[in-house]
Amino acid sequence: MPKLYITDFQPNKIIHKWEKLDPYYVKKNTKDTIYSNEGIFSIRGSRLFRLNPVDVPVVILDEGFTVDNSYFIEKEVDSQIPYEHVRDRKEQLYFCVGKRSGIQLIVEGTYRRSAPVAKSILTSQVEDKYYNFIPSDIYFYTQDNTINNKLFIEEVNVLLSIVR
């Protein structure tokens, strides 16, 4: 289940592409990660998982991509969140070429919230999923371990033509 990063691409460059990318929008997800001396944890709903990282060396492709096959082994735990911890909350915006697509473009980031501006925001801006969104990471993700098939490359190219 590799992540495919665009080599030398800054995530903030996508901010001006939201309008062209929006027809491919699928969903938004919130990812909560807890870092502590006791380990790394993920929160999903009311469930807590310990994450054990499995690092795999990255592969840099000539086509301008970096492939990261690293992953986490998850184990549900029945304990509480460690008292001393740092919580990292990221929003993930998912984009796909089609409903049956095997590849997703994921843009991770946070929403900038400022109290003085909040009072003057129009309702349409509050409902806009891109308003005040600050991207911190962007990558293609697939459940398939092979990224050399023709369909995969075509779908990546469709989204890549918009992003670049």
Kindly list the domain boundaries of the chain, sorted by start residue.
Answer: 3-163
87 vs 82, 84, 127, 150, 152, CA distance in Å? 11, 10, 25, 40, 34
How many beta carbons lie within 10 A of that of residue 92, not counting itself? 16
Task: Looking at the structure, give the CATH architecture of the domain made up of residues 3-163.
Answer: Alpha-Beta Barrel (3.20)
pLDDT of residue 103: 85
Helix (H, G, I), strand (E, B) or coil at 66: strand
pLDDT of residue 114: 66
CB 6 within 8 A of CB 61: no
Taking the CA atoms of residue 48, residue 74, residue 139 and residue 29 in that order, the dihedral angle to the nearest 10 degrees is -30
pLDDT of residue 164: 77
pLDDT of residue 107: 94
What is the value of pTM for the model shown? 0.83
Separation of alpha carbons 38 and 52, rounded Å: 11
pLDDT of residue 98: 80
CB 55 within 8 A of CB 47: no
Q: Which amino acid is at 74?
A: E
Separation of alpha carbons 100 and 102, rounded Å: 6
Place of tokens 């990660």: 33
Close Cβ partners of 80 (under 8 Å, ≥ 6 residues apart): 48
In the chain, which stretches have pLDDT less than 50?
A: 118, 123-126
CB 132 within 8 A of CB 112: yes
